[in-house]
Structure 1
């Protein structure tokens, strides 16, 4: 196979006769953002091909909510190391039967080190397979060595290069679907600011609680932004409504539902929670509408970046290596350099498949200062 210097890693020869491509990526919203750069690369390398996402229900919802480049989605069954839950052998067999009937020409594994995902991918019986793998993973036809501390979107492009597909975009790009943009004013009403008033959207959650910046810190930034004339909306899913209320409470200095002491022309409080009110389509429309999004390392932050909205991200340094934005013109990153658990002192840099983590969930980013964060938020808002 001929190798060239074009691409993120080695760019190998294209396969012959590829028209049906399957791409495996489980996990949450952010995980899918990491895989998206591979889609336009594969489609450009194989003109006229279709790319089917093998993903989770939240991925299926995003494909319905935004223009992602995927042609369709097959929702993964529960399977160890691929999608957590209680396995159903009948559902597993039904999934593989349907997948094999599609006769995929190429299957692309973008789900981690391959210990579980490579055997899963091989059951599709695609003509060609590419992906990453740890030393103990089942080999694919072309395999990239898996190293945990690699930027995930660039890893996806390096894997695409194994199939002869050079990069088109270095990071995910999305557009919200028009129907959700049109529905947003009806959903949020007067909570949306009028034209000309800056809109700051905050997301204080993250799957891993160690990535949570304190609610009081988010609240301090929200209060400063409101005092400078911005409307601030706090987003989250139904499980994050309490966290969002805590941010609002910290911002207004009283139980959630008050104001910062000055109302907007519409009578709406300048800091408010809309957590639990938005489906994924409306969330994408709101993030695209925002002037700036401030968030932990989380799915909504990655989604905002893909939608082209400037972001300020709160990151533990190790996560910034794997998932931080590449540029600093539109995106700012505030780093915590903590390397040990604040409770037991365990080394938190040894993560991934190499070592189990300690059981503590104390924040690794609590030391990041709100004043420093707001300086970046303000520079992007105005």
Structure 2
């Protein structure tokens, strides 16, 4: 019988983690971790990176990631030693491929003499061949049935909690988990810059009564409607919270819509003003913050309200309470595990309301239908805001950080 249908590469089991913890490799001083994607994808990988750092003390960890990863990791304190930006490559980093750039990248990577390369990027159809070209002595990662094998491979099944999947891979590399969540810290200089930008004491505006809202998500189907975020923003403003709506430059219009709709919810149609700071009580900061400043803002907030999105995952990594709006399928893969600091509200739709396709059949075997209707629009603002109030009333962290 093949335990867990996994390839142990002849290694023996030495402990237990999320899955089996196999014997560590010898002589590991340089580790490469492959994880493309956005902020949330990085947060999913960081617990595994921390486990690898602990299992191989003294080893350096190079993340092969994306520009947004490099920016965030250069502006926060975390477990990654170095970030190298991936070239455009099908299934690894989408974009126009340049054969010359790819060859130069792999030539550079081969000179680094990685002892261990760890694939945390999907099922391996594209990422496993990419990883093998690094020339590392040992390779570990996930694998769908059509992917090339690595030295040790964990079977990739779509519905698995992503940070736990990464920790299972780390276990196959000989690294038991240190923790189940990503952990980052904002750097002091970005707290100071944020304070200057907002003309308030960073993280302490309104005696810690700050609500941050992120209404965006990469997949439009994961987005709670703007008017529902606006209803939460308006109630928070009326209760004395300073509300900031955040997003990147592509989300400026969405953030401004939330602010405008929140104003419309006001009894007199005018924005409230936070009395101590003299700022509008609901304000958009979308496109105005560096990732270091965003981290400082999230770390100093009372609670973050968001879709299943990178800023929500980042807030969790910073230790800030969150209220997340999730499609039920995404909750399996990406929702927080605990409920003392984090609450979730679920959209239970399983079929597209336009074409009727079964949306639960997702992943590498099931391309999505072309429709972008929200799967979470049935979630009620009153229920979300009730969790905002509960978290700000009961959080043991509120707010002496």
Structure 2 contact 34–65 (Cα < 8 Å) conserved: yes
Where 1:321 maps in the other structure, the secondary structure is helix
Equivalent residue in structure 2 for 1:143, among 144, 153, 162: 153
Distance in 2 between residues matched to 1:243 and 1:136, nearest whole Å: 40
The reply on whether 1:267 has 2:282 as its aligned counterpart is: no
Identify the residue that residue 114 of structure 2 maps to in structure 1: 104
Distance in 1 between residues matched to 2:106 and 2:144, nearest whole Å: 24
Equivalent residue in structure 1 for 2:57, among 31, 39, 47: 47
Where 2:279 maps in the other structure, the secondary structure is coil
- TM-aligned CA deviation for residue 227 of structure 1: 1.0
Structure 1 contact 150–322 (Cα < 8 Å) conserved: yes
Equivalent residue in structure 2 for 1:328, among 331, 339, 343: 339
Distance in 1 between residues matched to 2:205 and 2:337, nearest whole Å: 32
Identify the residue that residue 72 of structure 2 maps to in structure 1: 62
Please give the per-residue CA displacement for 1:55-104, whole angstroms capped at 9, x wherever unaligned: 00111101111112111011100000000010001110111011000000
Where 1:300 maps in the other structure, the secondary structure is helix
Where 1:37 maps in the other structure, the secondary structure is helix
Distance in 2 between residues matched to 1:346 and 1:43, nearest whole Å: 43
- TM-aligned CA deviation for residue 259 of structure 1: 4.1
Segments of structure 2 that go 5 or more residues without pairing to the other structure are 1-10, 394-401
Identify the residue that residue 304 of structure 1 maps to in structure 2: 315
- TM-aligned CA deviation for residue 4 of structure 1: 4.3
Structure 2 contact 242–274 (Cα < 8 Å) conserved: no
Distance in 1 between residues matched to 2:49 and 2:70, nearest whole Å: 15
Distance in 1 between residues matched to 2:209 and 2:367, nearest whole Å: 43
Segments of structure 1 that go 5 or more residues without pairing to the other structure are none
Distance in 2 between residues matched to 1:313 and 1:254, nearest whole Å: 22
Where 2:213 maps in the other structure, the secondary structure is strand
- TM-aligned CA deviation for residue 381 of structure 1: 1.9
The reply on whether 1:36 has 2:46 as its aligned counterpart is: yes
TM-score (norm 1): 0.97
Equivalent residue in structure 1 for 2:97, among 87, 92, 104: 87
Please give the per-residue CA displacement for 1:14-47, whole angstroms capped at 9, x wherever unaligned: 1110110000000011000000001111111111
- TM-aligned CA deviation for residue 297 of structure 1: 0.3
CA RMSD, 1 decimal: 1.5
Identify the residue that residue 291 of structure 1 maps to in structure 2: 302
Identify the residue that residue 287 of structure 2 maps to in structure 1: 276
Where 2:257 maps in the other structure, the secondary structure is helix
- TM-aligned CA deviation for residue 197 of structure 1: 4.8
Distance in 1 between residues matched to 2:113 and 2:259, nearest whole Å: 52
Distance in 1 between residues matched to 2:28 and 2:320, nearest whole Å: 35
TM-score (norm 2): 0.92
Mark the CA change 1:146 to 1:359 in structure 2 (over 3 Å): closer, same or farther.
Answer: same
Please give the per-residue CA displacement for 1:81-130, whole angstroms capped at 9, x wherever unaligned: 00001000111011101100000000000000000000000000100000
Identify the residue that residue 364 of structure 1 maps to in structure 2: 375
Identify the residue that residue 120 of structure 1 maps to in structure 2: 130
Identify the residue that residue 230 of structure 1 maps to in structure 2: 241
- TM-aligned CA deviation for residue 5 of structure 1: 4.9
The reply on whether 1:180 has 2:190 as its aligned counterpart is: yes
Please give the per-residue CA displacement for 1:124-164, whole angstroms capped at 9, x wherever unaligned: 01000000000000100000000000000001100000011
The reply on whether 1:315 has 2:326 as its aligned counterpart is: yes
- TM-aligned CA deviation for residue 3 of structure 1: 1.3
Structure 1 contact 197–229 (Cα < 8 Å) conserved: no
- TM-aligned CA deviation for residue 187 of structure 1: 1.6
More off after superposition, 151-160 vs 175-184: 175-184
Mark the CA change 1:157 to 1:92 in structure 2 (over 3 Å): closer, same or farther.
Answer: same
